[in-house]
Structure 1
Amino acid sequence: MKTAEPTNADTASYPLTARNRVKRRHDRGFYDHETVHKILDASMMCHVSYVIDGQPYCTPTFFWREGTKLYWHGSSASRMLKNQTAQQRVCLTVAFLDSLVLARCGFNHSADYRAVMAFGNAYLVTDPEEKERAGIAMVDRFFPDRTASLRETTAQEMKATSFIAMEIEEASAKIRAKGVADDDEDYELPIYAERIPVKTVIGAPEPCPRLLPGVERPASLQAYSEGRLLEDALTDAYFLQYPAS
């Protein structure tokens, strides 16, 4: 089990710069490690934005956090990974849609959400020990200690996989959690308004039909039980894998 880099979540914040400052609705912007990391750790998929020869790209991929460093992986033949090998500037984003908001006028229709933008220089992980740790973390971060029970990764499989890391230089979270927010005079109008919650809920597990007789679902997957919120399961898994974070 790997221990993440220690952070003082009560006081540590990412620097406020022209790049990460929330320019509209400053009250929704957060820069402290605790808020930013909480949103990152509740997610499994991010979008990584970068530029190749003047052309912008945005690639969805799985990622994880270790302290103030982010990792993601992909095929060694990936265009994204090939172009993030020399300290390329990237922006990694994560977003949750928490509700749909129907107001009494079109202008006030909105959504409740949580989002993070993180900026830094991406680099290809070439150190053998760091790459080996990343190969384990890409499984165990989401399913703690699962790697130990798996068939060992072959040299060819590891060769076909690349890992990118990025120290978070700047980051910001933006959160709206207010539901319906109409103009005061509009509350007197006979118009229906509501907040529609949106949640990603885990469904019933579907065991592989080719499981050998007697192979049961391990207790370590209990967090991924039917009816649980996915973000809760991912957060629990993170703190099992990185208890000192």
Structure 2
Amino acid sequence: MSTLEKRQAADKPRYAKIRQMSRGGYDRALAYEILDAGLVAHCGFVHENRPMVIPMAYARIGDSLYIHGASTTRIVKNNAKGVPASLTVTLLDGLVVARSAFHHSMNYRCAIVHGTARLVKDKEEQVRALAAITDHMLPGRWDECREMSAKEHKATGVLILDIEHVSTKVRTGGPVDDKDDLGTPLWAGVVPVTTALGQPFDAYDVPEGTPVPASIPAARRKFA
């Protein structure tokens, strides 16, 4: 561990420290890059003394993350006053195939966030958060949609998670085989994993000739 990494680790509580630094780091800029490139966040919290992990849509605004769900869901309803929470976004880049099953791995980029999640009560902030979440998935889509109804606002809950601590884990490269296995006639290498959005198809009731909105190709470019 470098001097900088030791200094960064010293400023963090034990739950936010990286135990193995070979693939880990505290680079906030890299973490934000990963968060901005992901589509699904797995959110962890404790409910009735049980750990819960829920996949959710999200968006980042500055040093805060917004997640949303139905106002009656556990993660929203029971955490209005604030709760310690963790959120993870992982981008899978490839399957690493080694000559030994023991050395098989994956290439990935992962951001881990720790903070306190609390309910967004201000209506303007809620709208701003929902717009950000929508546009994170489909850039520009919020302005293409009709306005939310009062019923929809009431049914939707938004949590803000202030990013108090963040870390990353990244693996790149090929397999790390045992020296004795190198050059043997067993295939080894990397199988790339790519994420891309396919061609859109219309809902059954869309009038013929209705153009695909600009947010769709924008999203395909973003997640290419």
Distance 2:207 2:183 in 1: 64
* Conservation of the 8 A alpha-carbon contact between 2:69 and 2:156: yes
What is the CA-CA distance between 1:22 and the residue it aligns to? 2.1
Q: Spell out the pairing of 1:55-66 with structure 2 (5 A cutoff).
A: 55-66=50-61
Secondary structure of 2:57 counterpart: strand
Query: Shift of the alpha carbon at 1:17?
Result: 4.0
Q: Give, as a single letter, the amino acid of the residue that structure 1 aligns with 2:197.
A: I
Equivalent runs, 1:1-245 vs 2, <5 Å: 16-24=12-20, 26-225=21-220, 231-232=223-224
* CA displacement 1:90-124 (0-9 Å, x = unmatched): 11111122111121222211111111110001000
Which structure 1 residue ranges, 5 or more long, are not aligned? 1-12, 233-245
In structure 2, give the amino acid aligned to 1:171.
V
Indicate the larger mover: 87-96 or 128-137: 128-137
Counterpart CA distance in 1 for 2:212 and 2:148 is 21
Q: Which residue of 1 aligns with 2:3?
A: none
In structure 2, do the counterparts of structure 1 residues 42 and 106 end up closer, same or farther at CA, with 3 Å as the change threshold? Answer: same
Letter paired with 2:72: A
User: Identity percentage over the alignment?
Assistant: 36
Please tell me the residue identity of whatever aligns with 1:101.
V
Q: Partner letter of residue 158 of structure 1?
A: H
Structure 1 vs Structure 2 CA RMSD = 1.9
What SS does structure 2 have at the residue aligned with 1:141?
A: helix
Give the Cα–Cα distance (whole angstroms) in 1 for the partners of residues 166 and 69 of structure 2.
23
Over 3 Å counting, the alpha-carbon distance change for 1:224 and 1:191 in structure 2 is same
Structure 1 167/190 Cα, relative in aligned 2: closer, same or farther at 3 Å?
A: same
SS in 1 for 2:14: coil
- Aligned partners of 2:171, 2:196: CA distance in 1, in Å? 21
TM-score by length of 2: 0.88
Look up the SS of the partner of 2:35 in the other structure. helix
Work out the CA distance in 1 between the residues paired with 2:33 and 2:23: 15
Kindly provide the amino acid, as one letter, of the partner of residue 15 in structure 2. R
| Partner in structure 2 of residue 237 of structure 1 | none
CA contact (8 A) 1:111 1:179 kept: no
Deviation at 1:211, TM superposition (A): 1.3
Distance 2:76 2:143 in 1: 27
Conserved? CA contact 2:137–2:219, under 8 Å: no
Alignment coverage as a number of residue pairs? 216
CA deviation vs aligned residue, 1:195-223 (integer Å, no higher than 9, x gap): 11111122111122311244211234322
Distance change (3 Å), C-alpha of 1:131 and 1:107: same
CA distance in 1, matches of 2:114, 2:170: 18
One-letter amino acid matched to 1:21: K
